Amino acid sequence: MSLTPIGGASGSSSHEPRHKITAASLQEHKLQHNPITCLTAYDYSAARLIDEAGIEMILVGDSLAQTMLGYENTLSVTVDEMLHHVKAVRRGVKSALLIADMPYGSYQIDPKAALSNATRFVKEGGAEMVKIEGGEKRADLIHRIIDAEIPVAGHIGLTPQSVNVMGGYKVQGKNLSGVEQLMRDAVALDRAGVACLFLEGIPREVAAMITAEVSTPTVGIGAGPECDGQVLVFHDLVNLTFGTPAKFVRHFADAGQLIRQAVQAYCAEVKAHKYPADEESYHLPKETRTGLETVLARKRAMRR
C-alpha cells in the first residue's frame, strides 16, 4: 500500500469548514428553494472526496449490491454487508448528512426487527438517517422508527427492492391510478414525518405535483428538475458502470476511461522497465553504500 495515506496532509481539502447538514437543515433548503445535492458513496475515499466537494447528503445506497459487489439486483445484500460500507463511509464524512439504506428483508418482515436493524445503522454504522422503500403501507413502520429517534427518508416510485413485483425497472405513475397511488404514498409518508422523500423513476409532472403538495423535501432520481433536490449513484456520475445507462443518467466525468488508460500506461511502463524510475526508488544512505562497496570489493578480492 502507498506510504502516503489518503488522510494525510496532501489529501486535505483547501475548502473552508462547512456547516454540518442535519435533518432539520433539509427543511430550510426546501423553504429557501435551495436545491439539495445528494450522491451515493460506499467507501472511505469516495465519501471523503464527495464530502469535501461540498455535497449536502451522502446515501450509502443498497445499489452497492450492484456497483460494488457485482450482484444483478439489490435484493441479496444484507444488513451486515451494508453496515460494513456505512462504517467506512462514516469515517470519510464530516459535513454531509449520512443516510443508510435499509436493505431488502431488513424491515419488511417484522416491525421489531426493522427497529432493531435501523438502530444498528445508527449505533454501529454512525448513520444519521435510514431510508426505507415503499409508500403508504410503510407509514406506520416509519412512524415507529421516527418515534425511536431515528430520522427516516422515504423512497417511492420505482423502488428497486420491488423489482420482482414491478416486473422490471419500470417508470411508475404513468397512468391515472398510478399517479393517484403515488400522491397517496407521498402524503402518507409526509404525515408519518419523513425527513425527506426520494422520488425515483416517475414522470416529471408527477414529481412536481408531489413536491408542491408535501412539506418534506423531495429528492429526485429520474424524476425531473422540479424536485427539491437531486440524487445520483456515484458510479453513474463518473461512468464507473457497465452497460447502457438509464435516461436520467448524466456522466459528469469518465473515470472508467481514466482508470483504463492509467492501468494501460502503468502496464506499458512496467513492461518497458520504465517504472519505477530512479527518482521513484529508495537509496542506501551514503555511509551504508560506502561500507557495502568496501565489503563487496573485499569479497571480489578473496575470490581472485
Interface residue with ligand KIV, options 37, 39, 46, 61 (CB under 6 A): 61
Task: Please state the φ and ψ torsions of residue 197, each to the nearest 5 degrees.
Answer: -135, 115
**Is the CB of residue 223 less than 8 Å from the CB of residue 199?**
yes
Piece of 57-65, 110-118, 168-176, 244-252 that binds ligand KIV (CB under 6 A): 57-65
Residue ranges with strand state E in 35-142: 36-40, 57-60, 97-101, 129-133
Interface residue with ligand KIV, options 89, 199, 233, 237 (CB under 6 A): 233
Q: Is 40 in the site for ligand KIV (CB under 6 A)?
A: yes
Q: Is 198 in the site for ligand KIV (CB under 6 A)?
A: yes
Q: Is 228 in the site for ligand KIV (CB under 6 A)?
A: no
Shortest gap between Cβ of 129 and ligand KIV (angstroms)? 13
Shortest gap between Cβ of 63 and ligand KIV (angstroms)? 3
Nearer to ligand KIV, 77 or 114 (CB): 77
CA dihedral 199, 200, 205, 209 (to 10 degrees): -10
CA distance 207 to 199: 7
The enclosing H or E element of 13 equals: none
DSSP secondary structure, 17-56, as one string: P-PPP-HHHHHHHHHTT--EEEEE--SHHHHHHHHHTT-S
Residue 136 CA to its chain's centroid (Å)? 26
Task: Identify whether 269 is a catalytic site residue.
Answer: no
Nearer to ligand KIV, 190 or 200 (CB): 200
Q: Is 106 in the site for ligand KIV (CB under 6 A)?
A: no
Q: Which active-site residues does the annotation give?
A: 200
For ligand KIV, the binding residues (CB under 6 A) are 40, 59, 61-63, 101, 198, 200, 221, 231, 233
